[in-house]
Structure 1
Amino acid sequence: MPEATYRTGTPVWTDLTSSDPQRIIPFYTELFGWGAEDGGDPQYGGYVTFTLHGKPVAGLGPQQEGNPYGNLWTVYIASDDASATAGKAAAAGGQVMLPAMQVGDQGTLALLADPAGAVVGLWQPDQHAGFAYQDEPGAPVWFETMSRNFPAALDFYRNVFEWDYTTEADTDDFRYSTATIDGSPVAGVMDAARFLPEGVPSFWQFYIGVGNADATVEAATRLGGSVVEAPQDSPYGRIATIADPLGAMLRIDEPPAGN
């Protein structure tokens, strides 16, 4: 299980903003076999690091007073200069929701909204490099944005992160591009305008690898979560969408046999 390495422009971290962190910690630790480590430093505001094999794999923070957005996961993309990248995002038609802010000696973060309204984070690593593992059970395996403005999203991420794209499908029923850097896939962009329910904005989502999607869905329900989309087979594995006991959603992916 080699540790993950990252390049600028690739997803590097995910964390959950929760209205009741202590309530949902057992859900994630039992479901994915994660550990949960409290940083113990007041400057981090009660932030908890979920671990896999003893190393960071995701984060959890409390919903701050005055923040209306809770019980949701955020995807962060690596930047070598979060302030400069935020400036590029604004120039490319995005919105800087949280300017670059240093987080102790861990790194620097910023929050953006792309032109379609999807919120995504920036992370400029210092002592905290990002998740230690990827593409294995209990670790992130894929990231994508569900976009209400597909052309604008493609242009934005190309301009800000220098992504290239491979077209996976281009029909009214299914339009999807895979973002690449030097030919390596890093994330997906889906045209979701036709099927997102009214009032649901564009958003980023990610997938956690599991050994058995059906068993994981059953466990999620037993632990107080819910099934948003039942497991379905796809060319990329058996995929489902679940929600934790407070409604935060994420996807799980059992890879195809032989992967």
Structure 2
Amino acid sequence: MTLSPSPWPAGVPGWADMVVTELAPTQRFYGGLLGWQFVVGGPETGGYVTATLDGCAVAGLAVADVPSPAGWCVYLATDDVSATTARAVEAGATVVMGPTTELDLGRRAVLIDPTGATVGLWESGRQTGWEVTDVPGAFVWAEQMSHDPAAARRFYTALFGYEQQDMSAPDFTYTSLGIGGSPAAGVGGYGHGAGDVPAAWTWYVAVEEADAIAPLVASLGGEVVSGPEDTPYGRVLLVRGPAGEVLALVEQPDDATA
């Protein structure tokens, strides 16, 4: 388990949030599936909702009247969101929002990377991002998948100087991106059967038992996309929430949950 009162190192995924038009179905889904509770911010925050686990922040929800493409936005930590955004633009990104100052909480930007995936940048102020990781109901991993993983690797390494470890296999392209000798995130390529699936970041949340979680998904208003299936890193279940967003759930091996 990791508790983080300090800012996450630059380049490490530090937060995820999502815009929804209806809050209640999303709260019911994640509350029932992952045990999240929800704290609604004051008017100064626009009613931003923080999902918590045992009092620790694990994700965010914003409510908008105008529908927008559903999906979780993964934020990579940065020490200087303005400088990182400028590098991103030079490397081929498009700015969707920001950089903006969010009260005293921090500063953020949202970009479209050169492969078409949405990604956020977060410079911590009073809010560092998720406050607990690597426990059931909390973040454990994030990865970007696209049809051009080489372009994605070049882009993100230009932003954060990641160390790269090739983990590819026949018909499978994947690179672990590291900071200071520790894995931070992954970049992979879609297989031949993926068709026109758009590039996207996906974050993984730990669960105690993937097979026990799977039957709950439909009853809570979601849909099982794939799995549960065994992988070298745990038993993985891909689900779609009530707003159409996709989330990966992973039952980690016993030796990975220390």
TM-score, normalised relative to structure 2:
0.94
Is 1:167 aligned with 2:166?
A: yes
| Aligned-partner residue type, residue 31 of structure 2 | T
Task: Tell me which residue corresponds to 2:251.
Answer: 254
Task: Tell me which residue corresponds to 2:234.
Answer: 237
Cα deviation for residue 68 of structure 1 reads 3.2
Task: Tell me which residue corresponds to 1:29.
Answer: 31
Cα deviation digits, residues 73-99 of structure 1 (max 9, x gap)? 010000111111100000111111212
Return 5+ residue gaps in structure 2 as ranges: none
Cα deviation for residue 43 of structure 1 reads 2.8
Aligned ranges 1:76-115 → 2 under 5 Å: 76-115=75-114
SS of equivalent to 1:105: coil
182, 195, 212: which one pairs with 1:184?
182
Task: Tell me which residue corresponds to 2:3.
Answer: 3
In 2: Cα distance, 1:197 partner to 1:2 partner: 37
| Aligned-partner residue type, residue 201 of structure 1 | P
Task: Tell me which residue corresponds to 1:204.
Answer: 201
TM-score, normalised relative to structure 1:
0.94
Cα deviation for residue 222 of structure 1 reads 1.8
Aligned ranges 1:98-177 → 2 under 5 Å: 98-171=97-170, 173-177=171-175
Is 1:57 aligned with 2:54?
A: no
How many residue pairs get aligned? The number is: 254
| Aligned-partner residue type, residue 37 of structure 2 | G
SS of equivalent to 1:129: coil
Cα deviation for residue 255 of structure 1 reads 0.5
In 2: Cα distance, 1:64 partner to 1:102 partner: 22
Contact (CA 8 Å) 2:140, 2:206: kept in 1 or not?
yes
SS of equivalent to 2:192: coil
Cα deviation digits, residues 192-232 of structure 1 (max 9, x gap)? 1634332x321000100000001111122221211000200
Contact (CA 8 Å) 2:47, 2:62: kept in 1 or not?
yes
Return 5+ residue gaps in structure 1 as ranges: none
Cα deviation digits, residues 102-152 of structure 1 (max 9, x gap)? 111111110111111111000011010100111111101110001121111
SS of equivalent to 1:219: helix
